[in-house]
C-alpha cells in the first residue's frame, strides 16, 4: 500500500465538491478531489451530455437563483455562464379541467395575496421563517386566508418548489419562504426567472474546475473511494481501489490517501457505501439513516424539435393530474442552449421513495415494468395535451434518477444533519442534504460549500 497526503480530500466531483474545492484552493489549501466517473462527469447530477449537436441536461431545468452560486464565482474571480432563459416563471397551470394563467390566479385577489405571500417574504426575518420549517404550505395558507385563488396559487408553488410531489401541498413553508426571501435579498426582486445555462447546466462546472487547477488543486477522475478511513474518532484519509476485479468476486487491493480533513460530497443516499455508521455518534448516524433514502426520484423525458410552433415558449406548464398516469407533472421548453434554431421540451414527474418505481430497486423486474408503463402512459398524455411534441419529435431522451431528498415538514431544517459529522473529528458531510443547504438543488450545494469552507478554514 502506498500513501500520499493532502490538506483536504473531497470525495465526489459534483457541484458541492467542486464548489468547496474551488473555495479551499483559492484560500491556499492543498486539495484533492476524487470523482468516480470520467472527466465529462464532473458536475455530477448537474453534468450535461450532448445529442444532435447540442447540450442536454441531466434533467435540470432551471437553477433556483439564490445568490450562493454567484457568491462562489465572485470569490474565485470567475464569470458565471450566460443565462439563456427568456421567459419568466409565469406559465400556465391545468387545474379543474382548464388551463389557467399562473399570474391570473391571483389577479383578482391582490390585497389578500400581498398579505399572505409578499409580507411574509419581505417582512419576516430568516429566524421567523425558520419557525415555518415544519409547517406545510397548505396549512400555512389555510391559516391565513379563505381566498380560493390565493390557496390555488400556493398549491401551484407547492408544485414549483416540491416538483411534482404526489401531495405537493405537503411542501415545507419554511423552505419555500427561505428561498423566496433569499432571492429577493440577492436579486432585489421576487423570483420570476430561473437560470438556464448556456452550454447546459454542466457548463457551470467548467470555471470551477479551471479555478481548482489554477490554484494547485488536483482532480482525479475515474477514481472510486471505497472507504473513508477513521481511526480513534479521527478521520485519517480515504481508501481507493487500485484496479478492477479480474474475477467477479475479487477483493481488489486499495491505496490509502491521507488527509486530516475529509469531506464527503457524495449524495446522502450513497454515504453508507463509503462510511461505517459505527464510526459516527449514534444520534447522528440514526438521523442520517432516517434521511438517507427519502429521495424524490425524477422521471424526465425531453423531446428535441425544430418547429417553434409546437410550443408557445411563454413559460412552464403544470398539469395537476394526467389522465393516463394519474399524476401531476411539469413541463418547460427552451431554445437549445447553443443552437437557437432548435428547441427542447422537457417534462418531469417525481416519484417518491415509498412507491414504484423506486430508484434503489430499479434492477428488479417489477420496478422496471412500472417505470416503462409510466413513461409509455405519459407519452400518450403529453401528445394529447401538446399535439406533435411526441409524434413530431426528432429525438427523445428518457431518464430516471434521484433528484433530491424530500422537503416536507419533519425532513428539513433542524431535522437535517450538520455538515460536521458528529463523532469523527475532521470529517464533513456536504452531500444533499444538510441543514446548511436551505435552498434546493445546485444553489443548495453552493450554500453548503460556503458554510463548509468557512468551518474548514476556521473563519
Ligand atoms: C433529474 C434531476 C433534475 C434536477 N433538477 C434540478 C433543477 O432544475 N434545479 C436545480 O437547482 N437542481 C436540480 N437537480 C438537483 C441537482 O442536480 C443537485 O442538487 C446537485 O447537482 C447536487 O450536487 P451534489 O454535488 O451535492 O451531488 P452530486 O451531483 O450527486 O455529486 C456527487 C458526486 O459524487 C460522485 N461519487 C459518488 N460516490 C463516489 C465514490 N465512492 N467515489 C468517488 N466519487 C463518488 C458521483 O459520481 C457524483 O459526481 C436535479 C437533479 C436531477 C437528478
Name the residue of 11, 12, 448 to mutate for ligand 1: max ligand atoms within 8 A of Cβ. 12
Q: What range defines the domain where residue 233 resides?
A: 3-84+198-292+409-456
Residue 192 in any domain: the answer is no
CATH number at residue 365: 3.30.70
Domain match, 375 and 337 both: yes
**Nearest atom of ligand 1 to the alpha carbon of 41:** 49
Query: Which strands, in side-by-side order, build the sheet including 218-220?
Result: 218-220, 31-34, 8-11, 261-264, 427-429
Predicted TM-score of the model (pTM): 0.95
Q: Which three cell numbers stand for residue 292?
A: 438517507
pLDDT at 208 over 80: yes
Residue 173 lies in a domain: yes
Mean pLDDT of the chain: 91
pLDDT tens, residue by residue, 395-424: 999 999 998 888 889 888 888 999 999 999
Number of domains composing the chain: 3
Q: Within a domain: residue 80?
A: yes
Final residue of a domain: which of 388, 405, 422? 405
Which among 187, 213, 244 is the end of a domain? 187
Residue 427: inside a domain:
yes
How far, in Å, from the CA of 37 to the mean position of ligand 1? 12
Quick one: 177 and 205 in the same domain? no
- Tell me: pLDDT of 162 over 80: no
| Claim to verify: residue 284 and residue 418 sit in the same structural domain | yes
Q: Clarify whether residues 112 and 169 are in a common domain.
A: yes
Predicted confidence at residue 6, as pLDDT, reads 97
- pLDDT score of 164 more than 60: no
- pLDDT at position 337: 61
pLDDT of residue 157: 83
Please indicate, yes or no, whether residues 434 and 285 belong to a single structural domain of this protein. Answer: yes
Q: State residue 341's pLDDT score.
A: 77
Instruction: Please choose, from the candidates 230, 248, 247, the residue with its C-alpha nearest in 3D space to the C-alpha of residue 239.
Output: 230
What mean pLDDT is predicted for residues 334-363? 85
Q: Could you tell me what percent of the chain has a pLDDT over 70?
A: 96
Confidence of residue 166 (pLDDT cuts 50, 70, 90): low
User: Which residue, of 134, 166, 187, is where some domain finishes?
Assistant: 187
- Beta bridge partners of residue 257, listed in sequence order: 4, 238
- Under 8 Å between Cβ of 323 and 384: yes
The predicted pLDDT at position 3 comes to 62
Burial 167-194 (b: 16+ CB within 10 A, else e): ebbbbbbbbbbbbbbbbbeeeeeebebb
**The pLDDT of residue 91 is above 90:** no
Report the separation in Å between the CA atom of 310 and the middle of ligand 1, taken as the mean of its atom positions. 31
Statement: residue 367 has pLDDT above 80: yes
Question: Ligand 1: residues within 6 Å at CB?
Answer: 11-17, 34-37, 41, 44-46, 58-64, 224-225, 265-267, 270, 273-274, 298, 300, 401, 403-404, 431-432, 441-443, 445
Ligand 1 probe mutation, 18, 38, 44, 204, most atoms within 8 A of CB: 44
Query: What integer pLDDT is reported at residue 276 of this predicted model?
Result: 97
Shared domain for 134 and 167, answered yes or no, is yes
Q: For position 88, what pLDDT does the model report?
A: 67
Q: Check: CB of residue 206 under 8 Å from CB of residue 171.
A: no
Identify the residue whose C-alpha is closest to ligand 1 atom 20. Answer: 442
In a domain, 141, yes or no: yes
Amino acid at each position: 500500500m502506498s500513501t500520499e497526503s493532502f490538506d483536504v480530500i473531497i470525495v465526489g466531483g459534483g457541484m458541492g465538491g467542486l464548489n468547496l474545492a474551488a473555495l479551499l484552493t483559492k484560500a491556499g489549501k492543498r486539495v484533492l478531489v476524487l470523482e468516480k466517473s470520467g472527466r465529462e462527469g464532473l458536475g455530477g447530477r448537474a453534468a450535461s451530455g450532448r445529442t444532435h449537436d447540442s447540450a442536454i441536461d441531466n434533467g435540470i431545468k432551471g437553477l433556483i437563483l439564490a445568490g450562493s452560486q454567484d457568491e462562489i464565482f465572485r470569490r474565485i474571480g470567475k464569470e458565471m455562464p450566460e443565462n439563456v432563459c427568456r421567459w419568466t416563471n409565469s406559465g400556465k397551470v391545468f387545474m379543474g379541467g382548464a388551463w389557467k394563467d399562473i399570474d391570473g390566479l391571483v389577479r383578482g385577489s391582490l390585497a389578500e395575496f400581498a398579505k399572505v405571500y409578499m409580507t411574509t417574504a419581505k417582512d419576516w426575518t430568516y429566524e421567523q421563517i425558520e419557525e415555518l420549517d415544519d409547517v406545510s404550505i397548505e396549512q400555512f395558507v389555510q391559516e391565513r386566508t379563505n381566498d380560493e385563488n390565493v390557496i390555488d396559487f400556493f398549491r401551484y408553488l407547492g408544485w414549483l418548489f416540491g416538483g411534482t410531489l404526489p401531495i405537493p401541498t405537503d411542501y415545507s413553508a419554511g423552505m419555500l419562504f427561505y428561498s423566496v426571501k433569499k432571492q429577493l435579498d440577492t436579486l432585489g426582486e421576487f423570483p420570476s426567472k430561473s437560470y438556464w445555462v448556456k452550454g447546459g447546466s454542466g457548463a457551470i462546472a467548467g470555471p470551477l474546475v479551471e479555478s481548482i487547477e489554477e490554484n494547485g488543486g488536483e482532480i482525479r477522475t475515474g477514481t472510486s473511494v471505497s472507504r473513508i478511513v477513521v481511526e480513534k474518532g479521527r478521520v485519517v484519509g480515504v481508501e481507493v481501489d487500485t484496479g478492477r476485479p479480474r474475477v467477479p468476486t475479487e477483493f481488489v487491493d486499495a491505496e490509502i490517501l491521507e488527509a486530516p480533513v475529509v469531506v464527503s460530497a457524495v449524495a446522502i443516499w450513497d454515504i453508507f457505501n463509503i462510511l461505517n455508521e459505527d464510526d459516527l455518534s449514534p444520534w447522528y448516524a440514526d438521523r442520517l439513516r432516517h434521511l438517507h433514502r427519502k429521495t424524490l426520484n425524477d422521471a424526465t423525458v425531453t423531446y428535441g424539435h425544430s418547429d417553434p410552433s409546437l410550443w408557445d415558449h411563454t413559460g412552464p406548464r403544470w398539469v395537476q393530474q394526467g389522465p393516463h398516469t394519474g399524476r401531476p407533472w411539469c413541463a418547460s421548453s427552451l431554445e437549445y442552449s447553443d443552437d437557437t434554431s432548435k428547441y427542447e421540451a422537457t417534462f418531469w414527474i417525481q416519484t417518491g421513495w415509498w412507491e414504484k418505481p423506486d430508484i434503489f430497486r430499479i434492477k428488479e423486474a417489477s420496478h422496471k415494468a412500472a417505470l416503462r408503463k409510466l413513461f409509455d402512459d405519459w407519452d400518450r398524455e403529453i401528445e394529447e395535451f401538446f399535439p406533435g411534441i411526441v409524434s413530431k419529435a426528432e429525438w427523445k431522451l428518457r431518464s430516471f434518477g434521484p433528484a433530491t431528498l424530500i422537503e416536507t415538514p419533519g425532513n428539513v431544517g433542524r431535522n437535517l444533519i450538520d455538515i460536521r459529522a458528529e463523532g469523527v473529528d475532521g470529517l464533513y458531510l456536504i452531500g444533499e442534504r444538510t441543514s446548511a443547504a436551505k435552498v434546493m438543488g445546485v444553489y443548495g450545494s453552493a450554500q453548503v460549500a460556503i458554510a463548509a469552507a468557512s468551518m474548514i478554514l476556521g473563519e
